[in-house]
Amino acid sequence: MRWPRIVFFLILFLILGAMLHYTLPQRDIVRITGTEIIRQDFSGLNRIFYAQGDSGNAQTDSRDLRLINAVAASGAVMVYRNEDTGFGWPPYFKLDSADLHAEAANLTSTAATPQWVAITHYGWRSRLLTTYPNAVAIRPVDGPDARFVPWLNAVILLVLLVIGFMAWRIWERFEDRVIDPLRDRFAVQWAKLKDKTAGRG
């Protein structure tokens, strides 16, 4: 009985961890090398990784997608999509993708005269599924060594830990008061039934 419960909670923990890693905001310090708009076709595999189109526009299986191209100080190439989240999930309430696109174009720089920026984003980059993290904010920084404390992530994780602890305590009490007595009663009834069928009742 113990191992199935451990496996169940391990799978639940992995799913929750992946969801939080995808959803919570992350910051990259990069240099923007350009912006572009491409025509993106959505399939059944990658559709769930894209937010809705610009608010007020029709939702289709193919639409223009704004991209922000960037390079990190290490030389790693980064590509971000720039689309509205609207009032859906995740709850970033981003409605200004056109403005952010103009801001990114304005902050484009070269390797000779770099302008470093912090891009706040969520999501994953997958070349196999053709998905990009979604940029939600851009701000200039002094250099590639700029560091930020993820206060929002810390608060969200702390709240989730408190909620998880409270749910665990409630479940423990429910198990002690309801499930354990039912299990004991069932065990007694089962023992009596076995005795009766064996002719010992």
11-60 tens-digit pLDDT: 988 999 999 999 999 999 999 999 999 988 776 667 777 765 555 555 55
CA distance 175 to 158: 25
Partners of 134 in the β-ladder: 81, 122
Q: 3-state class of 168 per DSSP?
A: helix
List the end-to-end C-alpha distance of the chain, in Å, as a whole number: 30
Q: Which of 121, 119, 96, 127 is nearest to 32 (CA)?
A: 119
pLDDT at residue number 168: 86
Which parts of the chain register pLDDT below 50? none
Let me know: does 121 contact 80? Beta carbons within 8 Å.
yes
Query: Residue 68: how many CB atoms within 10 A of its CB?
Result: 29
Domain boundaries, the chain: 25-148, 155-197
Tell the CATH topology of 25-148: OB fold (Dihydrolipoamide Acetyltransferase, E2P) (2.40.50)
Let me know: does 81 contact 66? Beta carbons within 8 Å.
yes
Q: 3-state class of 27 per DSSP?
A: strand
CA distance 68 to 80: 5
pLDDT at residue number 36: 96
- Peptide bond connecting 90 to the previous residue in cis, omega within 30 degrees of 0: yes
pLDDT at residue number 2: 72
